[in-house]
Structure 1
């Protein structure tokens, strides 16, 4: 292929430490100049939700976002990474389809998410009622993998929509990106939160620290975003997220106020309380409604996207709550063992 192309983003993260043979092969190959050869990497039958597969997918997806420090930007569309990614995506999506019920009633799906059961208990409930500051900071680390790129995966839907649905989704994304103000972008607000909590605010700063159960929640967004055929699934998960975010953000704000956290930590969540309540209505009626009116066949994919995202979030919540109940860290190493911030964000 051509000479090595270096991305202009000087704040790109370093390649992570591999977690198995597949991710090791990916990291090793990406350290070389890009070429047009197919990658002969035996995938076998690994755990689709396991560390090796999920880290490999994360690395391959990041080639379409900011890339990695020292990695040839030409790898983004090279046959090797694309072929392996397709193999891993088939494993991941097949497992999700086996685990998530099939349905096509979007109203029933979104109504169920909107009406939270009185006995519901999740991570935000735990942190609001009795969570510690250390547990809250661990939660911040998990969420950093997505929130530092907040709204980016969903932006892939824009060129694939049309008319009313496109205009409505763009309006929601405009809010996610701060309404034109860089300091109000949700990703920037989350970086401010991390800094205020004495955590690393760099993009993918905690990639080596988070487990596969966290990576899977973000990888599913990227999988749907990068495939035109899966755009309805992307819209489904985006809508589900906006429905569930406002009440959980309200509980997180309460938790942080109880813990006496820096106002910058609270601001990220209060920003989402009112905004996402409006976004939920826009996505349900103007985006989903318009899509189904144009093609009712997309309803089942919209429902699957929402249900699969909730399934993956449920796995993450179980991991967090189970480990906290045992007094264990939810990360691959405790916060005390994770190296402190050693450089500022560019």
Structure 2
């Protein structure tokens, strides 16, 4: 076991609150389960306070927090409060997406990139600076240090061809049986090589709500059987779009003369996701809708939610960087 892997296994400390709701959740977790009540959502569901509160609630289902009683994971009052946050979160996304059930059209659109390419990876390849690359590393660490974990929750909720194919994709994500090749470990190696901390959730206080939302949506879809189709849509969208973006990131890191482990994380995704795209589209989505055609609208919602939240994050980062400012809540 490497020292980096040992670091990644540790639980994180509770973050600093960002408003009354997250303050109530974080303060409550310092006491005994059953000892706290929590306010209803009273601010932007996509804003800092709600997204941090959701992230903290969800983390109880992953590694938890240092000093927090594990029984908080299923505390009825906290689950009630989380359900209110989730309803507000889903409603806010639904207001910004078009809906529908034409899965082929949704996935075909993802497969066609604009020329010239736009977005975070295109900016970093063309003219990005090392401090901007490090900011991206920081915000993405909230997911990539547990990469593929949220999607594993959908496995027992699938059957037949869809289940077998998704397990094959997850097997690759977890390194094909090799801990040192798991994508989460490759990201920890990337952070080490970039001179950054590979501690789990180390950059949570730095990370803005728009980045937390891209991770929270995976946890929301994963923890609810009702949203199994949406989680499949989310993962399919990610697999289709990651390969081209990863190729641009390799070019950017080469231009910036980054240490080899930084580029390795992305080069691993170029080849893997090209295969995963086909498996997800034809076997996972195809198998799921063959067995449960009524989930087509949920799969489409998962794709659209992913696109919407990723675009918000891209806009936030690029707007700040174009003004020469940090995009983080706390600069590195």
Counterpart Cα distance in 2 of 1:10 and 1:314:
31
Superposed CA offset, 1:217-268 (max 9, x none): 0000000000000010000010000000000000000000010000000100
8 Å contact from structure 2 (residues 37, 78) kept in 1: no
Root mean square deviation, CA, Å: 1.1
Superposed CA offset, 1:59-99 (max 9, x none): 00000000000000011011021111001001100111111
Aligned equivalent of 2:240: 243
Aligned equivalent of 2:221: 224
Aligned equivalent of 2:252: 255
- Residue 204 of structure 1 pairs with residue 204 of structure 2: no
Aligned equivalent of 1:21: 20
Counterpart Cα distance in 1 of 2:37 and 2:199:
33
Aligned equivalent of 1:103: 100
Counterpart Cα distance in 2 of 1:85 and 1:102:
24
* Count of aligned residue pairs for this structure pair: 325
Counterpart Cα distance in 1 of 2:225 and 2:305:
18
Alignment equivalent of 2:128, drawn from 123, 128, 131 = 131
Structure 1 unaligned spans of 5+: 1-8, 336-346
For residues 84-103 of structure 1, what are the structure 2 equivalents within 5 Å? 84-103=81-100
Counterpart Cα distance in 1 of 2:247 and 2:116:
17
For residues 34-53 of structure 1, what are the structure 2 equivalents within 5 Å? 34-35=33-34, 39-53=36-50
Superposed CA offset, 1:115-173 (max 9, x none): 11214410000001100011001100010000001000000010100111100000000
Aligned equivalent of 1:338: none
Tell me, what secondary structure is at the counterpart of 2:118?
A: coil
Counterpart Cα distance in 2 of 1:93 and 1:10:
31
8 Å contact from structure 1 (residues 18, 27) kept in 2: yes
Counterpart Cα distance in 2 of 1:261 and 1:31:
41
Counterpart Cα distance in 1 of 2:208 and 2:293:
37
- Residue 169 of structure 1 pairs with residue 173 of structure 2: no
8 Å contact from structure 1 (residues 10, 69) kept in 2: no
Alignment equivalent of 1:276, drawn from 239, 253, 273 = 273
Structure 2 unaligned spans of 5+: 1-7
The Cα of 1:275 is off from its aligned counterpart by: 0.3
The TM-score normalised by the length of structure 1 is 0.92
Alignment equivalent of 1:288, drawn from 277, 285, 289 = 285
